[in-house]
Structure 1
């Protein structure tokens, strides 16, 4: 009898180890779909895992994802990723029960740790005028969403702002200026909706020194926020262990929820649009091949690390540009129609347009 009982206990224990994700679902199982509107305009097609063509957002929702992320540029050359597209995609997403994170870049193009370029229309503004422009732009987009019945659930004030935003004025070489601009965005978001959660987002999710330096300064200069956002790309941002140590530390040190607002992994080394892919290694991270199975395993691992953040402070994650497939015309440079997509081998749809296994894996986390 004792032997039978021991065997049963061992079986139960092995199940709990084998399926840690079943303990509780992540509150955010998300995908950045900022490229979707332009992809569809240029003929992009999306299919479920069985090959049935359909709405990409519906396919994501049916797989179990519950959140989308949309970036906003101010006046991009191609006219995409503006308020108009955000409103249109948000209507579709909310009708499917998906929640919404709005990502303000405060630029006409990509904003990231290497560049925080002011919108051309804001170039000659004084700091006071620039602060007002941040407030007005943030309020305008979020209030339009509220008025059409699709309120933003979360808002990023800036994108990968390791070095501040709206250079040179908002560079964190002068933290007082950085604080003014970020707090203007925070105040605009909260004026539209007090329940909207404001995220501050850094890249390099495995760099604990960066995060402590940045958020210690944020505290010292009165920068207001609700959630800490991280980018973690395992082939760029350190080991999984370093990422886990950092996300656990910042959540407990600052007492804020954390969310990975960008992560991704390739499912192939092949190219689909004639534009070189940014990640081409057959094994970009040790032990995880660039295959559909490797992509699913890596994204599941990142999700499980977020779930294990102490005190339930890990909200979830977003895969970056899940719908950015190799559609001619939907390239990376809004000012260059001939540019291609260097990311299509990291989407959640394969080169046959079908949903990849990683989508359902994330939907079940």
Structure 2
């Protein structure tokens, strides 16, 4: 793993050279986004994992996803990550390499800033080690600089993402305790620093604020009412939707998801997007049907304000990641559940 990290700068240089010499065929902006978050992919490949098409032929993972209708790649970025197989990687440099590679295939790009050295989600929003003892004014600067610097690296490599997420699943805030929702006024300032840094790179990039449990209207109304009151700047409301984690079948709450999507779009006059979704990889038909229903729910948002649906780590096969909600089979082939994105 350490050897792999040493070659990242070299790969980045090659990727930048290749991008500057080759015209890009990027999926049409404004079309419905069908996406995959593939943050584990570089380390899967580094550990020797092989990807296969339905006929048994070995293929590039991103090409396999594209063949199944995927036109968007979401990439998380951590500040100073470790080289741990499951909870490391995703450095700014590695993220740039992946973004260049995805764009070369015509994919649209979303960058997901966790503002941490590892996973940030509703249960944990730990500051990067380098920021631990910083004052709040210093944290404001940290968020701006990190966001700006990563997006500058991407721009120099020829990639301007279509979307940028400021924080990952932040119903309780981020950069705890300073940016907790217990002090929403400070959280608002941190989010606005991320927004301003993004727009300084390119005003056309859409900034996403992202919460979990997309079927729960009360949670979203509470958060975004506060965000409105405190003048948080953003363009898109991002939602996660995982029936598995709340121990339900999607049929029990897909209507709640659709109603919440429509409510968010109307109540705040914002675009909406399911930026994370997943189902049990062993329940192929159920997961495919769930994806079809989620895509339909997002497309049903009036005035084309439903932007798309992104599967979280579809390629993260359980026999490599121990993650139950991938969409990959134990034989290294894509699950037929992903065919929902072809429709």
TM-score relative to the length of structure 1:
0.81
Is 1:299 the counterpart of 2:291? The answer is yes
Distance in 2 between the 1:235 and 1:243 partners?
14
Runs of 4+ with >4 A deviation:
none
Distance in 2 between the 1:28 and 1:50 partners?
27
What is the RMSD computed on CA atoms of the aligned residues? 1.5
SS in 2 for 1:244: helix
Is 1:102 the counterpart of 2:111? The answer is yes
CA displacement at 1:70 relative to structure 2: 0.6
SS in 2 for 1:231: strand
Greater shift, 76-85 or 212-221, is seen at: 76-85
Could you say which residue in structure 2 is the equivalent of 1:236?
245
CA displacement at 1:327 relative to structure 2: 5.5
Is 1:137 the counterpart of 2:146? The answer is yes
Q: Which has the higher helix share?
A: 2
Map residues 9-28 of structure 1 onto 2, 5 A cutoff: 27-28=32-33
Distance in 2 between the 1:118 and 1:251 partners?
31
Map residues 260-275 of structure 1 onto 2, 5 A cutoff: 260-268=274-282
Distance in 1 between the 2:94 and 2:319 partners?
18
SS in 2 for 1:258: strand
- Higher relative contact order (CA closer than 8 Å, sequence separation 6+): 1
Could you say which residue in structure 2 is the equivalent of 1:176?
185
CA displacement at 1:112 relative to structure 2: 0.7
CA displacement at 1:223 relative to structure 2: 0.4
SS in 1 for 2:175: coil
| 1:237-262 deviation per Cα after TM superposition (whole angstroms, max 9, x unaligned) | 57112112111111111111100010
Map residues 1-365 of structure 1 onto 2, 5 A cutoff: 27-78=32-83, 80-236=89-245, 239-268=253-282, 290=283, 292-326=284-318, 328=320, 341-343=321-323, 345-364=324-343
Distance in 1 between the 2:80 and 2:342 partners?
34
SS in 2 for 1:259: strand
CA displacement at 1:313 relative to structure 2: 1.1
**Contact 1:49–1:356 under 8 Å retained in 2:** no
CA displacement at 1:40 relative to structure 2: 0.5
Could you say which residue in structure 1 is the equivalent of 2:25?
none
Could you say which residue in structure 1 is the equivalent of 2:5?
none
The number of residues matched between the two structures is 305
**Contact 1:267–1:294 under 8 Å retained in 2:** no
Distance in 2 between the 1:123 and 1:317 partners?
34
Could you say which residue in structure 1 is the equivalent of 2:7?
none
CA displacement at 1:26 relative to structure 2: 6.0
| 1:275-332 deviation per Cα after TM superposition (whole angstroms, max 9, x unaligned) | xxxxxxxxxxxxxxx2x2222111111111111112221111100111212465xxxx
**Contact 1:33–1:322 under 8 Å retained in 2:** yes
**Contact 1:43–1:327 under 8 Å retained in 2:** no
Structure with the greater alpha carbon radius of gyration: 1
**Contact 2:318–2:326 under 8 Å retained in 1:** no
Distance in 2 between the 1:363 and 1:29 partners?
9
**Contact 1:42–1:327 under 8 Å retained in 2:** no
CA displacement at 1:267 relative to structure 2: 2.5
Could you say which residue in structure 1 is the equivalent of 2:22?
none
Structure 2: 5+ residue stretches without partners: 1-29, 247-251
Could you say which residue in structure 2 is the equivalent of 1:3?
none
| 1:89-142 deviation per Cα after TM superposition (whole angstroms, max 9, x unaligned) | 111100000011000000111111111100110000000000000000001111
SS in 1 for 2:243: coil
